[in-house]
């Protein structure tokens, strides 16, 4: 019988490791929208050659997180007011669809309590990154529970920008406990099959915190 402890070691290509580090820095707001991505500087910071940096930046450009500007090179793609508004609207549409399917199909939602508890713990310790990660887990699980493959695929494509917006928004003195507190009522509404309340709560959720204003994290109206 095979011993899983002796399975072949998987070596992640350096390009992928660098891309993951840079992607995380962008979606958590450590690399800000509009910030230049200089291969030499990044290579020194990460302790690698310029080749994997160049390859990783290309991957991030494919993700829609990086863009090339004439005479300036690569930079973190800026967010416009229009983009932020459209992403917010699409997230709402996705989650309302998920909520309706979950209630309509009688799907159990007890798995949503784990990220709720993780958000509460992160808020109590003041860990913003952990709270954002738990928040993403909550909404990703909500989408998965809807059992809609296309919806899940579209959500995956949108998630990186949602995470980036959440991180930038939560830089602005948002009370972490307020974020954590908006999620349990959604689960309670789903558990009782109250689709009207669940739809209302999930619809209000993204805009409810700190008088969210797309212009506050975007660079230009477009």
Average pLDDT, the chain: 87
Lowest mean pLDDT among 106-115, 145-154, 164-173, 195-204: 164-173
Q: How far apart are CA 194 and CA 111, in angstroms?
A: 18
Q: Is the pLDDT of residue 86 over 80?
A: yes
Give pLDDT, residue 138: 95
The residues, any chain, with a CB within 8 Å of residue 129's CB and separated by 6 or more, are: 28
Asked whether residue 221 is assigned to any structural domain, the reply reads: no
Q: How far apart are CA 164 and CA 151, in angstroms?
A: 20
Mean pLDDT, residues 52-76: 92
Structural tokens at position 186? 């959604």
Out of 20, 55, 76, pick the residue that ends a domain. Answer: 76
Nearest 10 degrees: Cα torsion 126, 129, 131, 136: 170
Mean pLDDT, residues 47-74: 92
Mean pLDDT, residues 126-152: 92
CA atoms within a 13 Å half-sphere pointing along the CA-CB vector of 189: 18
Higher local confidence (pLDDT), 198 or 211: 198
Lowest mean pLDDT among 32-36, 41-45, 158-162: 158-162
Share of the chain above pLDDT 70, in %: 86
104 and 189 fall within a common domain: yes
Number of compact structural domains in the chain = 2
Give pLDDT, residue 9: 52
Confidence of residue 219 (pLDDT cuts 50, 70, 90): low
Q: For the stretch 201-218, what's the b/e string if a residue is b when 16 or more beta carbons lie within 10 angstroms of its beta carbon?
A: bbeebbeebeebebeebb
Could you please report the per-residue DSSP string of 50-74?
HHHHHHHHHHHHHHTSEEEETTTEE
Give pLDDT, residue 6: 60
Please, are residues 81 and 221 in contact by the beta-carbon 8 Å criterion? yes
39 and 125 fall within a common domain: no
Q: Is 76 helix (H, G, I), strand (E, B) or coil?
A: strand
Q: What is the residue range of 198's domain?
A: 81-216
139 and 69 fall within a common domain: no
66 and 111 fall within a common domain: no
136 and 212 fall within a common domain: yes
CATH number for the domain that contains residue 161: 1.20.120.530
Q: Is the pLDDT of residue 49 over 80?
A: yes
Confidence of residue 148 (pLDDT cuts 50, 70, 90): very high
Asked whether residue 142 is assigned to any structural domain, the reply reads: yes
Asked whether residue 60 is assigned to any structural domain, the reply reads: yes
Please, are residues 106 and 197 in contact by the beta-carbon 8 Å criterion? no
């Amino acid at each position: 019988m095979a011993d899983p402890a002796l399975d072949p070691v998987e070596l992640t290509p350096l390009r992928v490791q660098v891309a993951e580090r840079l992607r995380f820095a962008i979606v958590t707001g450590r690399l800000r929208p509009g910030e230049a991505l200089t291969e030499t500087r990044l290579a020194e910071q990460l302790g690698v050659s310029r080749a994997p940096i160049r390859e990783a930046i290309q991957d991030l450009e494919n993700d829609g997180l990086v863009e090339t500007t004439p005479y300036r090179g690569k930079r973190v793609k800026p967010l416009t007011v229009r983009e932020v508004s459209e992403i917010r609207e699409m997230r709402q549409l996705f989650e309302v669809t998920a909520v309706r399917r979950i209630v309509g199909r009688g799907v159990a939602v007890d798995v949503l309590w784990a990220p709720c508890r993780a958000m509460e713990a992160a808020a109590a310790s003041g860990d913003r990154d952990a709270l954002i990660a738990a928040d993403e887990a909550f909404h990703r699980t909500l989408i998965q529970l809807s059992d809609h493959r296309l919806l899940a695929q579209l959500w995956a494509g949108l998630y990186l920008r949602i995470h980036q917006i959440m991180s930038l928004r939560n830089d602005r003195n948002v009370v972490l406990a307020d974020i954590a507190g908006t999620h349990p009522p959604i689960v309670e509404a789903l558990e009782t099959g109250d689709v009207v309340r669940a739809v209302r709560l999930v619809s209000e959720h993204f805009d409810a915190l700190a008088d969210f204003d797309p212009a506050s994290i975007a660079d230009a109206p477009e």
